[in-house]
A and B are shown apart, each in its own frame.
Chain A
């Protein structure tokens, strides 16, 4: 591993720099165009943001597989894993940016700050996923949190949005504060903020012998902060309320961006600081006196079970999807606990597919809300007669979320379960499978409402209003779910090189 100084780090930092300058440019555009007509003004801020994101995306797609380096004196990692995540975050932002354009909820508010905040969160997510220093992890996590608090409360006159924002702030403040306390204890125990130095400190027999309970406390405290971002039990309480109150495009963003970044931090923290890689770098062995693998397995099992059971009772579409995203966090975590490169790869593949199916489902929610004006599942009755294609699309997305073959969601689940079974944790995969069965029930309930309910009413059906932009986006989001099988070879290749974590060899 190379350890680069500030100036030579910049060459690996181009997408982030592009994004930072984009967000400044968007802010300037927003200020300059203050007196123009709203429509014109919106174009003036949306176009630069889109250009910036696309440029950043094209830079981050030119991955260099051979290089792995610790940028800025080992503050930020540059490796295959981080490059993959960078692409995921930027793609998510592009989708969410386009989601905001015709959303009815955001129709009456000015979008300037929202876009600036979206770009800020995107940069911060990339930092968060690549930090290998305790301070940097905390700083990036706070940047993501603070900007998302404002995004959640963006509808100033909507009480639900305000309530969601306040809950998010209170929960976030407690969680990140708890995490900071844990990090400070970890610093006290090992004398370093650098994750790799922490690992070597924890490897010494002397520290291991004396640090048993202390390390346990540290891990629980740190998991509070990471778990808050991943929305895993027991730090999931904010999730349903915040998802319901936030404007739906923001909800879609929260359900993918920060969650994925949370898992990245989990991998960086535990694999970097609390496990040492084998010779070939394909598997890890735990370091220190705490069996954190079992701890994470417990969290994963509880998270997916609680998420799925909680979703059964929901009547609000956004709340249901919130619980479903909690359950998916549990599945993703299965890949994080097996301590192998394959586990990381399965996790990344799952997150990529999750991006498409979940954003797609939220887009359908936005489209239906634009026309019907409601998030209640019972108001989805009879959509089949009004918009057959949309219903079929939603069906595909929901089958994918359920994990029914041949859709991509099934492949993702199958991949993660097989990795878990390979690691000799058959019972874990069985629990995952049982949970998918519970999950199928509430996804099917939505489909039943859309297809069957309200189909016997005599009143004539008007076609559902669907903006061309949203129709195109839906197509882009749904197609990968159908042809997942064909894309699998590509996905396998892409994620394979990204399982290489930066390491202090």
Chain B
């Protein structure tokens, strides 16, 4: 166990430093809160509503998932490409099967219309009522 004493000391020193930094800045820094300073930060915009109940469009989530397709592709294919010559034909085939599966994911999202911010059904609805165009 004795070899782990270093870890413990490191932890203690870290905690001490962090505590010291916040305490000292709390004691020394000028304390002058105004309404603007206490507002949640939102890129210069005036925040609307409480920061706890943020209205967040769920469709961003779909985009994250689509991003994941390309992300995984890049992460897996770079090392694959590096050693491809040594591994030979089976690796080439396996790589293309892998790409095929990922493309299938993209095709699914595309065909289901999730890549478009304004979907087909909504677009049809917008044409009939052009005044609501901003709602999307």
Interface residues in B, total, Cβ within 8 A: 8
- Chain B residues whose CB sits within 8 angstroms of the CB of A58 once the complex forms: none
Query: Known contacts being A6-B90, A7-B90, is A31 close to B108, with CB within 8 Å?
Result: yes
Q: Say what secondary structure dominates the interface of chain A.
A: helix
Interface residue ranges of A14-34 to B (CB < 8 Å): 24, 27-28, 31, 34
* B contact patch SS: helix
Instruction: Annotate B86-119 by CB proximity to A: 1 below 8 A, 0 otherwise.
Output: 0000100000000011001001100110000000
List A residues 62-106 near B (Cβ within 8 Å): none
0 or 1 for each of B43-72: is its CB under 8 Å from A? (1 = yes): 000000000000000000000000000000
- Interface contact A31-B107, CB-CB below 8 Å: yes
Residue of B nearest to A113 (CB): B108
CA distance A2 to B108 in the complex (A): 40
**Among A6, A28, A34, which residue has its beta carbon within 8 angstroms of that of B104?**
A28
Contacts of B112 in A (CB 8 A): 31, 34
CB-nearest residue of chain B to A30: B108
Given A6-B90, A7-B90, A34-B101 contact (CB < 8 Å): no
Report yes or no: B90 in contact with A34, Cβ–Cβ below 8 A: no
B32 to chain A, nearest CB (A): 43
By a CB distance below 8 angstroms, the chain A residues around B90 are 6-7
- Closest A residue to B113 using CB positions: A34
CA distance A27 to B105 in the complex (A): 9
Looking across the interface, which residue of chain B has its beta carbon closest to that of A116?
A: B108
Q: Is the CB of A24 within 8 A of B101?
A: yes
Could you say which interface size class chain A belongs to? under 10
By beta carbon, the residue of chain A nearest B90 is A7
Q: Which residue of A lies closest to B111 (CB)?
A: A31
Cβ-neighbour of B111 out of A6, A7, A24, A34 (below 8 A): A34
* Residues of the B chain whose Cβ atoms lie less than 8 Å from the Cβ of A28: 104, 107
Of chain A, the residue at the smallest CB distance from B107 is A31
Residues of the B chain whose Cβ atoms lie less than 8 Å from the Cβ of A31: 107-108, 111-112
Q: Whole-angstrom distance from the CB of B25 to the nearest CB of chain A? A: 36
Q: How far is the CA of A34 from the CA of B109 in the complex (A)?
A: 13
The residues of B that contact A7 with a CB separation of less than 8 Å are 90
Chain A residues with Cβ below 8 Å from B111 are 31, 34
Task: Give the residues in chain B near A6, CB-CB below 8 Å.
Answer: 90
Q: Which residues of A contact B104 (CB under 8 A)?
A: 24, 27-28
A27 / chain B contacts, CB cutoff of 8 Å: 104, 108
Nearest to B110 among chain A residues (CB) is A31
A103 to B112, CA, bound (A): 25
Cα of A31 to Cα of B103 in the assembled complex, Å: 13
Q: Closest residue of chain B to A32, judged by CB? A: B111
In chain A, residues 26-47, which have Cβ atoms closer than 8 Å to a Cβ of chain B?
27-28, 31, 34
The chain B residue with its CB closest to the CB of A34 is B111
Docked pose: A28 CA to B107 CA in angstroms:
9
Taking the closest CB of chain A, its distance from the CB of B62, in whole angstroms, is 14
Separation of A6 and B88 alpha carbons in the complex (Å)? 13
How distant is B38 from chain A, measured CB to nearest CB, in Å? 33
Q: How far is the CB of A22 from chain B (nearest CB, A)?
A: 13
Contacts of B101 in A (CB 8 A): 24
CB closest residue in chain B, given A31? B111
Residues of B at under 8 Å CB distance from A? 90, 100-101, 104, 107-108, 111-112
**Additional A-B contacts beyond A31-B108, A34-B111 (11; CB < 8 A):** A6-B90, A24-B100, A24-B101, A24-B104, A27-B104, A27-B108, A28-B104, A28-B107, A31-B107, A31-B111, A34-B112
- Contact sample, A vs B, 11 pairs, CB 8 Å cutoff: A6-B90, A24-B100, A24-B101, A27-B108, A28-B104, A28-B107, A31-B107, A31-B108, A31-B111, A31-B112, A34-B112
The 7 closest A-B pairs by CB, nearest first: A31-B111, A7-B90, A24-B104, A27-B104, A31-B108, A27-B108, A34-B111
